[in-house]
Amino acid sequence: MKGETSWISHCFDDMSKEIGGLDSFSELIDEGNKETAAVSVDLILPDDLLERILAFLPIASIFRAGSVCRRWHEIVSSKRFLWNFSNVLSQKPWYFMFTSSDEPVGYAYDPILRKWYGIELPCIQTPNWFIASSCGLVCFMDNDSRSELHVCNPVTKHCKKLEDPPGLKFPDYSALSISVDRTSHNYTVSVVKSKQVPGNFFQWDLSIHIYDSETRMWATSLTEVLTGWRGGDESVICDGILYFLIYSTGGGTPENRHGLVTYSLSGRSSPLLRSFIPVPGPLTCGRLMNLKEKLVVVGGMGKQDRPDIIKGIGIWVLEGRNWNEVARMPHKYFQGFGELDDVFASSGTDDLIYIQSYGAPALLVFDMNQKLWKWAQKCPVSKKFPLQLFTGFCFEPRLEFAP
């Protein structure tokens, strides 16, 4: 038991330093009953009941609680507490914003407490690596060879390097995605590689490679030559289906510059273009995400006469083969980004979607349940030079998942 929980205790020590510990237990209880509640909880409640109460705290408060006293530290570091925590409803996803173009440093935003925390990410070497997340695990892939992959829990810092994937070396385009099973904690990683056929701009080799954490093996699930289309860098797994965007190489109308294709991870699929689903109108860019096993796309809507110029941002959910529009960003928020490029960063999970301009640290949050737009608290970093870029990704902060 001691060996199993030693890494948990170590991660609590590290994260409590990064997030900041409590000055006293009273920060977790009602202001008007500090002393009475402190005595009653600390001396009367048995460990198992206190574990269940602490498990319902926001994860940042759990780390702070571990700084209150030795008893609380042992409770929140125990394996039994992780089991209790795993049965609590999902935590709201955090958003990690890179604040350097060269170093993988930045801050993580907690939407519950509306605070930013300076945390260190393991494994990743530069901010331009490919990043995908699911159920508390984050997958990183290098942007050079596209063959170095790591899966980690950014909260506990537990990290694992995967074997190099098979297939094309140095592809022109790659799309990364990960899906974690909440029950078994096994995970699947997919890499879609796309490379131009030599001497033929209209034909592209495309391959799909799948990693299974249970077998610890890669498999090449599909190889195909696409004519008139190429792969890109957007993919996501929803309910056992791999979705990824493809892009026209033959001009065509603005409505047909992007397309969505699907691939079932559980069985044989027909040729990819048979699963082609048009995107919802002319988009300047599209960002795919899994929200409660539903495919959601956040897209930049192009002007009618200039489809490459963004005029707004929309959110759609795929229902069968049809798109259901959920929301359009109100103009005041669109203007709040200042000069928004035709491409932007966006990711989401659970009920929250984050949208960020590459040119500024402003972060906008959309709640799918409440249909509510809200600016995040200002990130504790400012733009230092005109060409400085900002990007980021969201992840669910969990303690019980390990790669």
Do 53 and 96 share a domain, yes or no?
no
Do 327 and 343 share a domain, yes or no?
yes
Check pLDDT > 80 for residue 310.
yes
- Predicted local confidence at residue 4, as pLDDT: 42
Does residue 345 lie in a domain region?
yes
Does residue 214 lie in a domain region?
yes
Domain count, the chain: 2
- Predicted local confidence at residue 18, as pLDDT: 54
What does the DSSP 8-state code read for residue 387?
A: T
Do 198 and 122 share a domain, yes or no?
yes
Do 315 and 168 share a domain, yes or no?
yes
Does residue 15 lie in a domain region?
no
Beta bridge partners of 333: none
Predicted confidence band at 25 (pLDDT cuts at 50, 70, 90)? very low
* Separation CA 68–CA 237 (nearest Å): 40
SS3 content of the chain, % helix, strand, coil (to 5): 20, 40, 40
Check pLDDT > 90 for residue 182.
no
- Predicted local confidence at residue 3, as pLDDT: 45
Do 195 and 220 share a domain, yes or no?
yes
Check pLDDT > 80 for residue 197.
yes
Largest CA distance in the chain: 78
* Region of poorest pLDDT, from 82-86, 91-95, 163-167, 188-192: 82-86
Predicted confidence band at 51 (pLDDT cuts at 50, 70, 90)? confident
Do 190 and 69 share a domain, yes or no?
no
End-to-end CA distance of the chain: 19
Does residue 11 lie in a domain region?
no
Check pLDDT > 60 for residue 144.
yes
CATH code: domain of residue 226: 2.120.10.80
Predicted confidence band at 268 (pLDDT cuts at 50, 70, 90)? low
Do 330 and 358 share a domain, yes or no?
yes
Comparing 224 with 266, the larger pLDDT belongs to 224
pTM higher than the cut 0.95: no
Question: Rounded mean pLDDT of the chain?
Answer: 83
**319 Cβ contact partners less than 8 Å away, ≥ 6 residues apart:** none
Do 151 and 52 share a domain, yes or no?
no
Q: Which of residues 57, 84, 111 is at a domain's end?
A: 84
Percent of the chain with pLDDT over 70: 83
Q: For residue 289, what is the enclosing H or E element?
A: strand 283-291
Does residue 209 lie in a domain region?
yes
* Region of poorest pLDDT, from 70-79, 108-117, 243-252, 269-278: 70-79
Do 196 and 282 share a domain, yes or no?
yes
Which among 295, 205, 293, 201 has a CA at the least distance from the CA of 248?
201
CATH code: domain of residue 74: 1.20.1280
Do 62 and 195 share a domain, yes or no?
no
The parent domain of residue 54 ranges over 45-84
Does residue 232 lie in a domain region?
yes
